[in-house]
């Protein structure tokens, strides 16, 4: 089955600082789907917030959203924008003055919840400055904070969410600001999927294919939130809808990034880091598959190359399953077998297994993923790879 990604208008995000080499990220168009997250620190504490931003960036986050609720936050934003390794989005809800302050601080994008800023004159003031500073705006609609008139007329529905977003899209368009990204987040999969489908159809019909930011708001704790996000976002991404996403978990934001990448990798949309497949184990297993998998996962954290590794608990599945991976490892009693594309490389004592596995992995990186050759640490001219 061929999946066609919807055509969308590209938008450039870049912090507006004195440094012309500040990290820039494109959203939409033919550019890769972008992974985002949000800080949980006090924005006024710029150092603590930057520490979290750097951690997120190292985990693979490409854009970070930061709340700006008061004057203290706005002051912190000035330092954060200047020192951040990734584009910063200012999250604004009720006070339009904070939007103005964030724009002055040089954020790469502004996120507005139109249901919370209900005075159109205030919205227009913000939009005018954003246009002047060439700052894109994400219209962020949440099901739980719709404009009262739309909620009364249409209820808590996908149709109300789309109507709310379009109301504010029209304000931006009237003011000549079309650097727009739209999000329509509900707490449940069905409403979210329907809202994005409806918005995609509507944007196509009006000839304004603005980029779409995907997310399930308030998805839940780590396990349930991961499942809900994977299902909802996976459906939309499979249908070609979405240009950027955030997995919203009630957890450390560092937990959000690998889930987002996992969703993208599972659909073949992005490659970053190892893809590890592992058998669920059974009575044939001669080794603790969970421990074996965790050991492989520990090795994986040291690389960002998209190596595919199969982890098997016995030699019954090892050869077959490893044909679909770059490297396979199958455990046995006090030993293990390593495969390359289904062919046996060798059998090693348990004490030597992971050294041999790392050697094979780095050999794969050199041969198949040369762009990541800088991650190889061993001298393979000596070991013969």
SS3 labels along the chain: CCCCCCCCCCEEEECCCCCCCCCEEEECCCCCCEEEEECCCCCCCHHHHHHHHHHHHHHCCCEEEEECCCHHHHHHHHHHHHHCCCCEEEEECCCHHHHHHHHHHCCCEEEECCCCCCCHHHHHHHHHHHHHCCCCEEEEEEHHHCCHHHHHHHCCCHHHHHHHHHHHHHHHHHCCCCCEEEEEECCCHHHHHHHHHHHHHHHHHHCCCCEEEECCCCCCCHHHHHHHHHHHHHHHHHCCCCCEEECCCCCCHHHHHHHHHHHHHHCCCCCCCCEEEECCCCCCCCCCHHHHHHHHHHHHCCCCCCCEEEEECCCCCHHHHHCCCCEEEEEECCEEEEEECCEEEEEEEHHHHHHHHHHHHHHHHHHHCHHHHHHCCCCHHHHCC
Q: What is residue 311's predicted lDDT score, i.e. its pLDDT?
A: 87
- Calculate the alpha carbon distances from 14 to 10, 19, 23, 117 in Å: 13, 10, 6, 25
Q: What is residue 227's predicted lDDT score, i.e. its pLDDT?
A: 95
What is the residue whose two structure tokens read 């500073």? Answer: 133
Q: What is residue 285's predicted lDDT score, i.e. its pLDDT?
A: 54
Contact 99/90 with Cβ under 8 angstroms?
Answer: yes
Q: What is residue 323's predicted lDDT score, i.e. its pLDDT?
A: 79
Task: Examine domains 11-266 and 275-383 and report if their fold is the same.
Answer: no
Q: What is residue 264's predicted lDDT score, i.e. its pLDDT?
A: 94
Q: What is residue 315's predicted lDDT score, i.e. its pLDDT?
A: 62
Q: What is residue 215's predicted lDDT score, i.e. its pLDDT?
A: 96
- Split the chain (385 residues) into runs of 10 and give each run's mean pLDDT: 78 91 92 96 96 94 96 95 96 89 96 74 88 94 89 96 93 92 95 97 96 92 94 96 96 94 91 78 62 84 87 68 82 83 88 90 92 80 41
Query: Domain residues of the chain, as ranges?
Result: 11-266, 275-383
Q: What is the chain's length?
A: 385
The CATH number of 275-383 is: 3.30.413.10
Tell me which fold the domain 11-266 belongs to. TIM Barrel (3.20.20)
Q: What is residue 49's predicted lDDT score, i.e. its pLDDT?
A: 97
Q: What is residue 282's predicted lDDT score, i.e. its pLDDT?
A: 60
């Amino acid at each position: 089955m061929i999946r066609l990604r919807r055509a969308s208008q590209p938008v450039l995000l870049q912090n507006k600082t004195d440094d012309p080499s500040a990290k820039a990220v494109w959203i939409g168009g033919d550019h890769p789907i972008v992974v985002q997250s949000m800080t949980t620190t006090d924005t006024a504490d710029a150092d603590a917030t930057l520490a979290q931003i750097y951690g997120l960036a190292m985990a693979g986050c490409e854009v970070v959203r930061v709340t700006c609720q008061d004057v203290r936050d706005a002051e912190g934003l000035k330092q954060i924008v200047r020192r951040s390794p990734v584009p910063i989005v200012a999250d604004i809800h009720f006070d339009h003055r904070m939007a103005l302050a964030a724009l002055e601080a040089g954020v790469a994008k502004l996120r507005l919840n139109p249901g919370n800023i209900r005075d159109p004159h205030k919205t227009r003031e913000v939009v005018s400055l954003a246009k002047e500073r060439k700052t894109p705006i994400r219209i962020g609609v949440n099901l739980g904070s719709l404009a009262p008139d739309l909620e009364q007329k249409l209820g808590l529905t996908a149709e109300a969410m789309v109507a709310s977003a379009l109301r504010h899209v029209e304000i931006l368009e009237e003011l000549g600001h079309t650097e727009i990204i739209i999000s329509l987040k509900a707490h449940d999969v069905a409403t979210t999927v329907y809202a994005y489908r409806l918005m995609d159809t509507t944007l196509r019909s009006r000839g304004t294919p603005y980029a779409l930011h995907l997310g399930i708001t308030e998805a839940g704790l780590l396990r349930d939130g991961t499942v809900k996000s994977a299902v909802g976002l996976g459906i939309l991404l499979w249908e070609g809808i979405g240009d950027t996403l955030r997995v919203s978990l009630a957890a450390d934001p560092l937990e959000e990034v690998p889930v987002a990448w996992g969703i993208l990798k599972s659909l073949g949309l992005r490659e970053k880091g190892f893809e590890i497949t592992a058998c669920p184990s059974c009575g044939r297993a001669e080794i603790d598959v969970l421990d074996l998998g965790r050991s492989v996962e520990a090795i994986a954290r040291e690389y960002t190359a998209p190596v595919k590794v199969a982890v098997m608990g016995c030699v019954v599945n090892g050869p077959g399953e490893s044909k679909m991976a770059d490297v396979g490892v199958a455990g046995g009693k006090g030993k293990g077998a390593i495969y390359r594309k289904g062919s046996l490389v060798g059998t090693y004592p348990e004490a030597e297994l992971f050294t041999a596995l790392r050697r094979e992995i780095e050999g794969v990186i050199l041969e198949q993923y040369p762009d990541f050759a800088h991650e190889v640490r061993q001298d393979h001219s000596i070991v013969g790879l």
